A = this chain, B = another copy of it.
């Protein structure tokens, strides 16, 4: 065969756009790419890989004519389309939360738990963008010194909400600089020059769904159902890249040097940790980069077995589109893609 027939559902969104760019950058072996979006975009054109493509409806027919479908269009769309595509023999790599906690669906970061792909039934989920950097840093450490507890505070970029949120930050920032009142629309409160301790929806427990995703997804990906995790997820006025202040507790004491040595060798992780030279990861620099950046690794002075660190990743790339494309690449190398079609 000469490549995969690929469809991208949600091709006009923040993640979909980055996904198409990454397929091109990585010379992904696509024989064809179909681009799907919501009704208002049907018929419009999109340039991908030097080719003009027409935005289409993601019909069952279309989903049955491709080998691989990336869905990045929200949970409702995923719940509707993923089973249809999977049943028709396509491999679905889904960005939404719809199937992540489904025991029948692998939830995968290739550097962490590629082995989980073997059990797939046509749908694989890619984690929430705030989970991915955490598991990539935790996995190699957990292998040498069991992690017993993780607490984290996030600094999440507006692009995690989508392209409209980026525009809202841009417009509101101009309003505030011009001395006008900001007009909230995508977010319940002004995001420009402000901070919202609120990502996704609140639960009765006082946690948000975003915070609980970090708990449940981390446990599933690390195969550590017992792992104690607690998060505070916060939206900050940053366009791209999520940052996380992380406190880890280990079974045994571990020096910052030992932690840095492990992380320095970890796949997909890059240490950027020379504070005396003012070198540490920041969202503005990490935007557009592939690795999870780690800095500010130090002993947690408040716990004998504790470590504190600072993580930053591009939420649209490794936090979403890049991880999805890497899952597809990993499945190809494992011979899982394209799926054998029933006659």
Task: List which A279-306 residues lie within 8 A (CB) of chain B.
Answer: 280-285, 295-303, 306
For residue A277, give the distance in angstroms from its CB to the closest CB of chain B. 9
**Interface membership of chain A positions 171-215, coded 1 if the CB is closer than 8 angstroms to chain B and 0 otherwise:** 001100100000000001110011111100010011110000001
Is A237 an interface residue, CB under 8 A from the partner?
yes
Is the pair A284, B206 in contact by a Cβ cutoff of 8 Å? no
**Interface membership of chain A positions 219-249, coded 1 if the CB is closer than 8 angstroms to chain B and 0 otherwise:** 0000000001110101011110001010100
Instruction: Specify which of B228, B297, B298, B302 is in contact with A150 (CB 8 Å cutoff).
Output: B302
Is A151 an interface residue, CB under 8 A from the partner?
yes
Q: Which of A153, A173, A243, A275 has the most CB of B within 10 A?
A: A153
Is A155 an interface residue, CB under 8 A from the partner?
yes
Given A189-B282, A230-B308, A245-B234, A298 contacting B197 (CB threshold 8 A): no
Is the pair B299, A205 in contact by a Cβ cutoff of 8 Å? yes
Instruction: Specify which of B173, B243, B285, B298 is in contact with A173 (CB 8 Å cutoff).
Output: B173
Is A149 an interface residue, CB under 8 A from the partner?
yes
- Assembled-state Cα–Cα distance A155/B196 (Å): 11
Given A206-B297, A229-B302, A302-B151, A247 contacting B247 (CB threshold 8 A): yes
Is A26 an interface residue, CB under 8 A from the partner?
no
- Assembled-state Cα–Cα distance A262/B190 (Å): 30
For residue A150, give the distance in angstroms from its CB to the closest CB of chain B. 7
Given A170-B177, A189-B278, A206-B297, A236 contacting B155 (CB threshold 8 A): yes
Is A310 an interface residue, CB under 8 A from the partner?
yes
Is A256 an interface residue, CB under 8 A from the partner?
yes
- Assembled-state Cα–Cα distance A247/B211 (Å): 14
Is the pair B310, A202 in contact by a Cβ cutoff of 8 Å? no
Is the pair B206, A298 in contact by a Cβ cutoff of 8 Å? yes
Task: List which A134-162 residues lie within 8 A (CB) of chain B.
Answer: 149-151, 153, 155
Residues on B with beta carbons closer than 8 Å to the beta carbon of A333:
none
- Assembled-state Cα–Cα distance A194/B284 (Å): 5
Residue of B nearest to A273 (CB): B206
Is the pair B300, A234 in contact by a Cβ cutoff of 8 Å? no
Task: List which A27-71 residues lie within 8 A (CB) of chain B.
Answer: none
Is A276 an interface residue, CB under 8 A from the partner?
yes
**What 4 A-B pairs have minimum CB-CB distances, sorted nearest first?**
A206-B298, A153-B153, A228-B302, A153-B245
Query: Interface residues, chain A, CB within 8 Å of chain B?
Result: 149-151, 153, 155, 169-170, 173-174, 177, 188-190, 193-198, 202, 205-208, 215, 228-230, 232, 234, 236-239, 243, 245, 247, 256, 275-276, 278, 280-285, 295-303, 306, 308, 310
